[in-house]
Amino acid sequence: MEDLTPLATRRLPTKWLGRPLVLKAETGSTNDDARTAAQAGAASGLTIVADSQTSGRGRRGRSWHSPPGDSLYLSVVVRSSMRPDVAPLLTLAAGLAVRDAVAHFVAPERVTIKWPNDVRIDRKKVAGILVEGAIRGDALAYAVLGIGLNVRGASLPDELRERATTLRIARGADIARPEVLCALLVALESRIDAVVRAPAEIVGEVSRCCDTLGTEVQIDGVAGRAESLSPTGGIVIVTAAGERVEMRSGEIVEVA
């Protein structure tokens, strides 16, 4: 935790994201904290970073193991004029931002996105993204972007070693969490801004580094070849019968 503490008072090279930056030694889930803050009126950019989480959450109700010392667990409140149907682009934008940050430390061609929310190095998961939001009327009232990124761990439990990695393992050298966090916050701000300004750019860039495209997939009972990403961040699957089906991403879990 001590390594991260100076960041709370340091001037970050961002315009709105990470302002303020709240650091916690331990919390239940930074996504829950950010949602509570958003419901109480927190402005866009509030970022909560925890050294450990006792009830870290992944997608689809899975838990996110969050021990102290080695990883980054953070959530950002985003308020935007975007329509709820483009909210899945936030997940893709966060994935690109993680990729941007990670690519400062390992060769970019090793870093891919597994649609919709995993960032992988050499096809092993290094980060997961959980975007949750609330809709008011036909607008997105707020979104919470949660990111868990494995940074400094020197080893992983046997059951994870095949499919997960850490930045340190992939790089083959130790790595400072504040450096990674700073790079991530800067990249996140720029990628989130692009969701409103240039959504097609987000889709285009993810398409170029998405290791799901061109592979056979099964998503929520629909099987086929992942062909492309749709303009709103979904994935288009071509079934064996030649039918094109768009699957959507993103998790809007509550209605404000």
Of the residues 7, 18, 47, 53, which one makes contact with ligand BTN according to CB under 6 A? 53
Where is 121: in which H helix or E strand? strand 118-121
Of the residues 1, 24, 58, 248, which one makes contact with ligand BTN according to CB under 6 A? 58
- What single string gives the DSSP state of each residue in 70-99? SEEEEEEEE--S--GGGTHHHHHHHHHHHH
Q: Which stretch binds ligand BTN (CB under 6 A): 2-10, 58-66, 207-215, 229-237?
A: 58-66
Smallest separation (angstroms) from ligand BTN to the CB of 52:
10
E strands present in 138-247: 139-150, 216-219, 222-229, 235-238, 244-247
Bond prior to 157 in cis (omega within 30° of 0): no
Bond prior to 116 in cis (omega within 30° of 0): yes
Smallest separation (angstroms) from ligand BTN to the CB of 146:
3
E strands present in 7-110: 21-27, 47-53, 71-78
- Could you say whether residue 128 binds ligand BTN (CB under 6 A)? yes
- Could you say whether residue 62 binds ligand BTN (CB under 6 A)? yes
DSSP structural state of residue 110:
G
| Helices assigned H by DSSP within 149-198 | 158-161, 167-171, 177-197
Smallest separation (angstroms) from ligand BTN to the CB of 144:
8
- Could you say whether residue 120 binds ligand BTN (CB under 6 A)? no
- Could you say whether residue 99 binds ligand BTN (CB under 6 A)? no
Smallest separation (angstroms) from ligand BTN to the CB of 55:
7
Angle (deg, nearest 10), helices 199-209 and 88-102: 60
Q: Which stretch binds ligand BTN (CB under 6 A): 141-149, 189-197, 220-228, 234-242?
A: 141-149
Angle (deg, nearest 10), helices 177-197 and 199-209: 130
Q: Using CB atoms, what's the residue nearest to ligand BTN?
A: 128
- Could you say whether residue 112 binds ligand BTN (CB under 6 A)? no
- Could you say whether residue 146 binds ligand BTN (CB under 6 A)? yes
Residues 20-39 that bind ligand BTN (CB under 6 A): 29-31
- Could you say whether residue 250 binds ligand BTN (CB under 6 A)? no
All residues at 6 or more sequence positions from 181 whose CB lies less than 8 Å from its CB, including other chains:
4, 7, 49, 72, 74
Q: Which stretch binds ligand BTN (CB under 6 A): 134-142, 146-154, 188-196, 240-248?
A: 146-154
- Could you say whether residue 165 binds ligand BTN (CB under 6 A)? no
Q: Binding-site residue total for ligand BTN (CB under 6 A)?
A: 21
Cβ atoms 227, 244 nearer than 8 A = yes
Of 63, 109, 72, 110, the C-alpha closest to 94 is 72
Binding site for ligand BTN (CB under 6 A): 29-31, 53, 56-59, 62, 64, 73-75, 117-118, 128-130, 146-148
